Structure 1
Amino acid sequence: MKVLIVGSGGREHALAWKFAQSEKVTQILCIPGNGGTATMPKCQNLSFAVSDFEGIRRFASVQGVALTVIGPELPLAMGIVDYFHDANLPVFGPTQVAAQIESSKSWAKELMISAGIPTAASATFTDPELAKAYVRSQSIPIVIKADGLASGKGVTVATTLDQALGAIEQMFTGQFGTAGERVLIEEYLAGQEVSILAVTDGDTIRPLLPAQDYKRLKEGNLGPNTGGMGAYAPSVITTPQLMAEIQTTILEPTIAALRDRGINYCGCLYAGLMITPEGKPKVIEFNARFGDPETQAILPLLNSPLEDLLLACVEKRLGQFLPISWKPGSSVCVVMTSAGYPETTESGKLISGIKKAEENGAAVFQAGTKIKDKSLVTNGGRVLGVSATGKELNEAIATAYRAVSHISYDGANYRRDIGVIEVPKVLNIKSP
């Protein structure tokens, strides 16, 4: 079977890598792909624009693609899945109206409140002065969010009033484009964050392994928010009892609430949760697709064929699918970025050492890369995701960082505490 993947990040490379392990998958077509998918067996990059929905749909139809998977949030929000549905082509991903669960934080918040799904108290504003007045009446810390898509960067956890007021000013003056025309202000939730990626056919929803994402740029969870600096799975704080509660109080009610609105949600539902000090899960955000970099930590542990699982969703038979099978142990993904990320990015820096890293037990998923003059160079903010597995979490951490030490390019940056904050005595990691 042929599989088509839309997107160019580390998540898409990881999806292609997993599909390539199946004997049933004969060809993987990536639009547009990156430097990693350009050289991977069974894989071919195609130079379509991600926004060329008509061209992508026509290509999938002519080529007899058995499954198309949409990776990034922007084409989902723009309605690419609707194009495939119009032609009765198999596609994994939510429709445009369903993708509002990520493309509009205020829409998602209203959905949660109406369905009784536990989440932070909030208020939405289109006027900066009213937003500032509201913040002055609330306690600090407080969370300021751009309502629309901002590549994972439109969130400020303000620890002072001045910081909160400054974040509001930045959003309403265009730092995040149209995404900041509406601003959501939320109460600050304390606790531990957990990422739950679940697949659904609109009726049945099944979670993948729980993961922990690290969004802050610097060690110790300091610095600005990013698209994600690393992840590990399964989360050490997510017990079977907690997963059962997440299933019954968050995942199933969300799908039911969407269905009640006439929305059939097929795809991956990402629930970013805060586990409060009392052990209760609350929703921080929903995303309408596989998380990045959580996907790069979760897929190395997946035993079930990925194409079978996703096709079960597309064909609305997830309820009859066998229990999802997982390998024992843990997985860690360390993200390597360009200098200046997330504010700026550098491109064209020669990358070396990936082969050596992979020889030392890692899977290196490429994101901001491209092939230039037959050499691999940087081409974006988040450049690589270095993933490794182990029987124990500390073994996976050690293998991942050994692999990272073999990779070099000018301006490379990464956190040295991925997986360590939750288990502080596991490993004393030093800069290579």
Structure 2
Amino acid sequence: MNVLIIGSGGREHSLVQKLNQHHHDVHVAPGNDGMEEAVVVDIPETEFERLALYAKEQQIDWTIIGPENPLSGGIVDVFREKGLKVFGPDEAAARIEGSKRFAKRLMKEYEIPTADYEAFTDVEEAHAFIDEKGAPIVVKADGLAAGKGVVVAATVEEAKTAVSGMLEGNRFGSAGHEVVIEEFLDGKEFSLMAFVDGEHVYPMMPARDHKRAFDGDKGPNTGGMGAFAPVPDLAEEKVRFAVDEILFPVAKAMQEEGRPFQGILYAGLIETKRGVEVIEFNARFGDPETQVVLPLLKNDLIQVIEDLTNDRDPHLQWKDEACVGVVLASSGYPGSYEKGNLLPAHRATSGFFAYAGVKKVDGAFTGNGGRVLMAGATGASHEEARRTVYQELKPFAGSTDFFFRTDIAKDI
């Protein structure tokens, strides 16, 4: 089939690689210079009309939306109005990611387990709430902030600074004009994505990502510095609970709200003393989880989407293997960083590279984003996959322009 992927990051490259394995003709917009398996189309992901016109002209069979911003902006609505087949939630359903307050209200109303919370637009009221609750406490920008709008504050002062930065300092623009403050949940996190169409829910393999920038889960939160799947210390009954008591109920709740969900529902979950609870929902494939989950899926992705949207069970099948991925990032990320630094010569031997923030200059890759690429590998065990990944990353060891964590999937 002719397939168009919208997006430009590592998640989208992973989608390209997966579709390429099953011999589809893949286009990606705007893509990046590392996506050599696809036709890279120079149309920004925000230009919905141009993208839809391209899909019509190229007789695209399916368009798959990667990032959250076009989904929240209504790209699916535009494509559907033009009679184009597109996989992803419409603007109304994408609100489950686009507004933290909406998601928390939904969970509270439909009794889906999550942290207690309050939402604020007034700094003094937010500060008073923080004084009342104490620390640790979590401050979230209500809107989309590229995975950086969450502050896990260890002290009351840190929480107040985060609130002031969002509500007064315009730290995240309009995304931070309202904040959600919620109780800190302690436990092990995991991610569970599912193919969803209305109340039909088909869960994928669980994964775990590492959000902190540095080894030992130190440093600031990032969009993700690495991931692995499956999650060996996650009991099967916890996964069943997550599917039965979280994914199915939220899909039903979205139906009842008049916002039926079609696409990928991502649940960021945590095992607490009370049981499995929701940290957040996303309305699309996770990044970097997609890069370690899709390599383990045996099915053709288009077959899954065709079955799902035609009311058929896609019968998901998984390899009896593990996958580990480690992100290479620009020095300074998630803060300010330089673009244009030359990447050392590298080539995938036993693993793979999913490219994100790269640009080719005179035939060589340069850094063009915070997260530059992910090195990944599958193996009979996590340790085998991990050894392969770090072998692939050897050319980057000791670089002053780029860095990566050395403890992804260690001691799990």
The corresponding residue for 2:195 is 199
Query: Is 1:281 matched with 2:276?
Result: yes
Whole-Å separation in 2 of the counterparts to 1:195 and 1:4: 26
Whole-Å separation in 1 of the counterparts to 2:352 and 2:306: 25
The corresponding residue for 1:291 is 286
- The answer to whether the Cα contact below 8 Å between 1:68 and 1:91 also exists between their aligned partners in 2 is yes
Whole-Å separation in 2 of the counterparts to 1:346 and 1:311: 42
Map 1:155-166 → 2, pairs under 5 A: 155-166=150-161
Normalising by structure 1, we get a TM-score of 0.93
Moved more, 232-241 or 51-60: 232-241
AA aligned to 2:191 is S
1:373 deviation in Å?
2.5
1:382 to 371, 375, 389: 371
Where in structure 1 are there 5+ consecutive unaligned residues? 424-432
The corresponding residue for 1:36 is 34
1:62 deviation in Å?
1.8
CA RMSD of aligned residues (A): 1.2
The corresponding residue for 1:418 is 408
Whole-Å separation in 2 of the counterparts to 1:179 and 1:129: 19
The corresponding residue for 1:223 is 219
1:384 deviation in Å?
0.7
- The answer to whether the Cα contact below 8 Å between 2:307 and 2:314 also exists between their aligned partners in 1 is no
Q: What are the superposed Cα offsets for residues 203-223 of structure 1, whole Å, 9 maximum, x if unpaired?
A: 211111100011011111111
The secondary structure found in structure 1 opposite 2:216 is coil
The corresponding residue for 1:119 is 114
Map 1:352-371 → 2, pairs under 5 A: 352-355=344-347, 358-359=348-349, 361-371=350-360
AA aligned to 1:419 is A
The secondary structure found in structure 2 opposite 1:347 is coil
Whole-Å separation in 2 of the counterparts to 1:231 and 1:388: 11
The secondary structure found in structure 1 opposite 2:56 is helix
Normalising by structure 2, we get a TM-score of 0.97
2:386 to 385, 397, 407: 397
Whole-Å separation in 2 of the counterparts to 1:83 and 1:389: 38
Whole-Å separation in 1 of the counterparts to 2:212 and 2:18: 28
The corresponding residue for 1:18 is 18
The secondary structure found in structure 1 opposite 2:403 is coil
- The answer to whether the Cα contact below 8 Å between 1:35 and 1:369 also exists between their aligned partners in 2 is yes
- The answer to whether the Cα contact below 8 Å between 1:73 and 1:289 also exists between their aligned partners in 2 is yes
- The answer to whether the Cα contact below 8 Å between 2:210 and 2:224 also exists between their aligned partners in 1 is yes
Whole-Å separation in 1 of the counterparts to 2:129 and 2:110: 25
AA aligned to 1:233 is A
The secondary structure found in structure 1 opposite 2:202 is strand
Whole-Å separation in 1 of the counterparts to 2:386 and 2:226: 11
- The answer to whether the Cα contact below 8 Å between 1:349 and 1:410 also exists between their aligned partners in 2 is no
AA aligned to 1:10 is G
- The answer to whether the Cα contact below 8 Å between 2:4 and 2:63 also exists between their aligned partners in 1 is yes
Q: What are the superposed Cα offsets for residues 27-56 of structure 1, whole Å, 9 maximum, x if unpaired?
A: 21110101211x22xx11111121110111
- The answer to whether the Cα contact below 8 Å between 2:254 and 2:261 also exists between their aligned partners in 1 is yes
AA aligned to 1:196 is L
The secondary structure found in structure 2 opposite 1:36 is coil
Map 1:155-304 → 2, pairs under 5 A: 155-172=150-167, 173-277=169-273, 280-304=275-299
Whole-Å separation in 2 of the counterparts to 1:31 and 1:343: 26
1:412 deviation in Å?
1.1
Moved more, 168-177 or 7-16: 168-177
1:112 deviation in Å?
0.7
Q: Aligned pair count?
A: 410
1:383 deviation in Å?
0.2
The corresponding residue for 1:150 is 145
The secondary structure found in structure 2 opposite 1:304 is coil
Query: Is 1:341 matched with 2:333?
Result: yes
Percent identity (aligned): 42
1:410 deviation in Å?
4.9
Query: Is 1:372 matched with 2:388?
Result: no
AA aligned to 2:280 is E
- The answer to whether the Cα contact below 8 Å between 1:201 and 1:316 also exists between their aligned partners in 2 is no
1:93 to 65, 71, 88: 88
1:322 deviation in Å?
3.9
AA aligned to 1:376 is F
The corresponding residue for 2:5 is 5
The corresponding residue for 2:104 is 109
The secondary structure found in structure 2 opposite 1:275 is strand
1:201 deviation in Å?
1.3
The secondary structure found in structure 2 opposite 1:350 is coil
Q: After TM superposition, which residue ranges in structure 1, 4 or more long, deviate above 3 angstroms?
A: 407-410
AA aligned to 2:295 is P
Whole-Å separation in 2 of the counterparts to 1:333 and 1:45: 24
AA aligned to 2:184 is Y
The alpha-carbon distance between structure 1 residues 227 and 144, as it changes in their structure 2 partners (threshold 3 A), is: same
- The answer to whether the Cα contact below 8 Å between 2:323 and 2:378 also exists between their aligned partners in 1 is yes
Q: What are the superposed Cα offsets for residues 215-255 of structure 1, whole Å, 9 maximum, x if unpaired?
A: 01111111110000000001123222211111110000000
The corresponding residue for 2:131 is 136
Moved more, 239-248 or 265-274: 239-248
The secondary structure found in structure 2 opposite 1:83 is helix
